[in-house]
Chain A
Amino acid sequence: DAKTTQPTSMDCAEGRAANLPCNHSTISGNEYVYWYRQIHSQGPQYIIHGLKNNETNEMASLIITEDRKSSTLILPHATLRDTAVYYCIVRLIQGAQKLVFGQGTRLTINP
């Protein structure tokens, strides 16, 4: 699996947009970008994934650069419950590809 690089930690004010960056410069053409988050002492939760187009769902938006070497997860109106570790993972589309987690970004939402 391609490696990803994320900042260790970030802070964001409640009600503001949280923008979490991820670099994946060695991503190959058939790898998706996945985002998960892990709230303290719980299992990781799937947020969103994308290949090359921007994606949006009820939780977040995913912006992928045209060269696919980096992406940004956007939480449009962060709440205190969004405080968690956010993981950016690249993964092959086909087959039983394991999900490999890095250190992630610890996002703290401040009141």
Chain B
Amino acid sequence: ETGVTQTPRHLVMGMTNKKSLKCEQHLGHNAMYWYKQSAKKPLELMFVYNFKEQTENNSVPSRFSPECPNSSHLFLHLHTLQPEDSALYLCASSQESVPYYGYTFGSGTRLTVV
């Protein structure tokens, strides 16, 4: 365990379903991130949250809706997804007030859209 927990580990959903991915960290970090990793592609940064405020949205379609209720939890709400949204979704956290820290990643949620 890295200290960043993602649930569920695997998710299969239809294009008309609504589901949510959950990320939880108890490392005392103040920044959290969502990344997407499609097959044979580099990780793509989707969203950045700093002290619960969204500071970056990398042109992500509105069918992906993030939520950060507190600095320990991050959600990614999914609705009306497309098959091309099938990917590994990774959550990460960091302590941005301490400049030398790296990111801690969770194990990811493997999403399949059918």
| A in complex with B | yes
Q: Which residues of A contact B2 (CB under 8 A)?
A: 43, 45
Nearest chain A CB to B47 CB, angstrom units: 10
Please list the residues of chain B having a beta carbon within 8 angstroms of any beta carbon in chain A: 2, 4, 31, 33, 35, 42-43, 45, 48, 50, 55-56, 88, 90, 92, 96, 99-100, 102-108, 110
Nearest chain B CB to A90 CB, angstrom units: 13
B42 x A104 contact (CB < 8 A): yes
Proximity string of chain A (73-111) to chain B, C-beta cutoff 8 Å, 1 when within and 0 when not: 000000000000000000001111011111110000000
- Cβ contacts A to B, 8 pairs, < 8 Å: A36-B102, A41-B108, A42-B107, A43-B106, A45-B105, A49-B100, A95-B96, A98-B45
Give the top 10 A-B pairs by smallest Cβ distance, nearest first: A43-B105, A46-B102, A101-B43, A96-B96, A93-B99, A101-B42, A44-B105, A43-B90, A96-B50, A94-B99
Q: Taking CB as reference atom, which chain A residue is nearest B6?
A: A43
How many angstroms from the CA of A20 to the CA of B42 in the assembled complex? 18
Interface size class of A (residues with CB under 8 A): 20 to 34
Q: Which residues of B contact A32 (CB under 8 A)?
A: 100
Nearest chain A CB to B57 CB, angstrom units: 12
Residue among A43, A94, A96, A104 facing the most chain B CB atoms (10 A cut-off): A43
Nearest chain B CB to A103 CB, angstrom units: 6
